[in-house]
Structures are given as structure tokens and as C-alpha cells.
């Protein structure tokens, strides 16, 4: 090695050092990059798993919340039913005592259900009839047609007797009107004075002190149902009803409420009414058996009605206001 060779050696050594440092930097950069990439993926996957865990928790909590709401609603319905069984007698007495000055017992109540067609009694009034019969109230039925729209009057009369027997009304307490001016026809306009006179004669002849019928919408909207309400309202407004006779109309509920079965109970219970009649599963079976007595009417939609109609479980009534009878005008 010469002196001239020393700078060359140093130069070569310097270059080696630089290349080493360069290679080291590359490795460090690559290593850092790989580490960062892995960390990011790791964190990303961790975040994904945390998000997934959160969503699963939310879903489970939602299912529990829905189950809790459903169970609470069912328990509420059960509580309403139990409360109703205790309060029904009191509310019935209250209705009877609104017009009467003296305290009325159940055995003194003589109730008349006024309907238009055979099957109205079980389709719409079954809970009321069942509850009144349970309290030993004398329940009667006045049906204003034989249900002869499809010329099946004779058969439908027999079906009505069977249905009433199932609900607890004896055949001696059933009156079926067959008047040529009161046809079973949704397009027929019944004479209100005629219907009024038929009803009031029956009320006076048997001294009924409680009359229950349709309201102005007729529950199903049938013209014959609405005509009965108009006739009873006419009697009430003209003071032709005996002093101690209470008149009640069955409340028509909207389409949604009508077909949610027993789930409708809390709504009717909360809304103001003067009388509420509710039956449980035993009463429902009784109402269903009465419905099945009307064999000539058992088309497919009747089975849907039996399954989903709230009128198989609950009836609510409003008082039909009456004009004071002994009003003296000076």
C-alpha cells in the first residue's frame, strides 16, 4: 500500500459505509411499513369485531325488549280481565241506578237485546249475553227479521234458537219478528216509526228495564242495524220509553281495532264507556260455539271473523240519552 493508495482505500471504505447505511434505511423503512400495515389491519379487525359485538348485543337487547313489551301487554290484558270481573256487577248496577231512584239488584234486571238478523246475537253481543247470564240477569232477544235475504228464513230461525241456547237464552225468551215491511235487506229503508212501535210494544209488554242494541254505525254498517238504533233513539228522544228503562248502544270500533282480537281490550278499557263486558277463553269458546250454530252462514270469512274479531271478547256500551218524561212546561 502506498500513500497514494490511502485516500482510495478511505474512499472505498466510505462508499461501503454509505451503502450499508442505505441498505439499513431501506430495511428499517420496509420493516416499519410492514409493522404499520399489520397494526392497521389488526386494529381494523379489532374495530370490526367490536362493532359486530355491539350490533349483536343491540339485536339481543331488542329481542328481549320486544318480548318484555309483549309479555307486559298480555299481563295487562289479564289484569284488565280480572279487574273487569270484579267491577262488572258494580258498573251494571250504576247503569241501572242512573234512571231509577232505588237500588236495583241483578235478579231485578230484565234485559232485552234488540238485533236485526239471526247471528247478530253471537257475532256482536256474545260477551254481553254471556256476562249477563252469568249474573243471573233475565236476558231476552228481539230479532226483527228471520234473516230471509237468501230465502233461508226457516233454517236460520232454528240456528238462532240453537245459538241462543248456547249463550244461555232459553227459546221462551226469544221473539223473532217476521214483518213484510221489515225485510232482511241491506238496501231496504226500514220505516223508523214502524220499528219504534214494534220495539216499544215489546218493551212495555215484558217490562224490560235494560235495552241493548246497535249504535248509529251499526257495528258492521248494515242499514237494518242502523235503522234499529234510529228507532230506539227516536223512542228515547220522544219520551216513549218507560221511566226505569235504560237504553244502551253497542260501540262500533274502527276496522283495525275490530280485527286484533283480544289485543283490543286495553283500548276499549281505557276509552270512556258506561258499560264494558269482557269474556275470557271460556266465554270465547262459548261465543264460538254459538257462531258455529249458524251453519248456513259459515263461509270462509266467518272463520276469520271468529278468529280475529274483538266482538268475540269485548262489548262496550254508551247510554242513549233520554228526554225527561215528567217535564212540566209553564
| Total H helices, total E strands in the chain | 11, 7
CA 18 to chain centroid: 89
Q: What is the dihedral of CA 99, 100, 106, 110, to 10 degrees?
A: -70
Q: Which is nearer to Zn ion, 116 or 198 (CB)?
A: 116
Residue 173 or 224 with smaller CB distance to Zn ion: 224
Nearer to Zn ion, 116 or 212 (CB): 116
Q: Is 226 a binder of Zn ion (CB under 5 A)?
A: no
Residue nearest to Zn ion (CB): 117
Residues 6+ apart with CB under 8 A from 118: 143, 145, 146, 147, 156, 157, 159, 160, 163, 176, 294
Shortest Cβ distance from residue 274 to Zn ion (Å)? 23
Residue among 116 and 203 whose Cβ is closer to Zn ion: 116
State the nearest-atom distance from the C-beta of 113 to Zn ion, in Å.
12
Q: How many residues bind Zn ion (CB under 5 A)?
A: 3
88, 89, 95, 100 alpha-carbon torsion, rounded to 10°: 180
Cα–Cα separations (whole angstroms), residue 54 to 46, 47, 60, 66: 12, 10, 10, 18
- Which CB sits closer to Zn ion, 218 or 283? 218
In degrees and rounded to multiples of 5, residue 156 shows phi and psi of -70, -30
Report residue 102 as a C-alpha cell: 232505588
Q: Which is nearer to Zn ion, 88 or 159 (CB)?
A: 159
> Using the 8-state DSSP alphabet, how is residue 184 labeled?
S
Using CB under 5 A as the binding rule, whether residue 241 contacts Zn ion is answered as no
Q: Does 264 bind Zn ion (CB under 5 A)?
A: no
Indicate whether 146 belongs to the interface with Zn ion (CB under 5 A).
no
Does 120 interact with Zn ion (rule: CB under 5 A)?
yes
Residues 78-117, mask of contacts with Zn ion (x by CB under 5 A): --------------------------------------xx
Site residues (vs Zn ion, CB under 5 A): 116-117, 120
Amino acid at each position: 500500500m502506498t500513500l497514494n493508495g490511502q485516500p482510495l482505500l478511505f474512499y472505498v471504505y466510505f462508499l461501503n459505509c454509505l451503502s450499508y447505511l442505505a441498505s439499513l434505511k431501506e430495511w428499517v423503512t420496509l420493516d416499519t411499513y410492514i409493522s404499520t400495515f399489520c397494526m392497521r389491519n389488526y386494529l381494523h379487525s379489532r374495530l370490526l369485531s367490536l362493532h359486530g359485538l355491539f350490533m349483536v348485543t343491540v339485536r339481543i337487547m331488542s329481542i328481549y325488549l320486544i318480548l318484555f313489551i309483549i309479555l307486559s301487554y298480555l299481563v295487562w290484558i289479564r289484569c284488565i280481565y280480572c279487574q273487569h270481573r270484579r267491577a262488572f256487577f258494580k258498573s251494571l248496577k250504576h247503569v241501572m241506578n242512573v234512571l231509577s231512584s232505588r237500588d236495583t239488584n241483578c235478579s231485578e234486571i230484565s234485559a232485552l237485546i234488540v238485533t236485526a238478523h239471526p247471528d247478530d246475537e253471537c257475532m256482536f253481543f256474545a260477551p254481553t249475553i254471556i256476562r249477563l247470564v252469568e249474573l243471573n240477569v233475565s236476558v231476552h232477544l228481539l230479532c226483527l227479521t228471520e234473516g230471509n235475504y237468501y230465502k233461508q228464513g226457516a233454517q236460520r230461525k232454528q240456528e238462532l234458537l240453537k245459538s241462543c241456547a248456547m249463550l244461555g237464552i232459553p227459546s221462551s225468551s226469544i221473539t223473532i219478528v217476521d214483518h213484510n215491511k221489515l225485510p232482511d235487506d241491506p238496501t231496504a229503508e226500514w220505516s223508523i216509526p214502524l220499528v219504534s212501535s214494534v220495539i216499544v210494544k215489546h218493551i212495555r209488554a215484558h217490562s224490560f228495564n235494560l235495552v241493548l242494541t246497535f249504535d248509529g254505525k251499526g257495528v258492521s254498517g248494515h242499514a237494518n242495524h242502523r235503522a234499529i238504533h234510529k228507532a230506539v233513539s227516536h223512542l228515547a228522544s220522544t219520551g216513549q220509553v218507560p221511566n226505569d228503562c235504560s237504553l244502551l248502544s253497542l260501540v262500533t270500533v274502527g276496522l283495525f281495532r275490530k280485527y286484533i282480537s283480544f289485543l283490543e281490550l286495553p283500548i276499549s278499557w281505557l276509552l270512556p264507556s258506561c258499560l264494558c263486558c269482557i269474556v275470557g277463553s271460556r266465554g270465547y269458546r262459548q261465543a264460538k260455539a254459538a257462531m258455529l250454530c249458524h251453519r248456513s252462514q259459515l263461509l270462509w270469512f266467518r272463520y276469520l271473523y271468529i278468529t280475529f274479531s274483538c266482538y268475540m271478547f269485548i262489548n262496550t256500551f254508551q247510554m242513549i240519552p233520554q228526554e225527561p218524561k215528567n217535564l212540566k212546561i209553564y
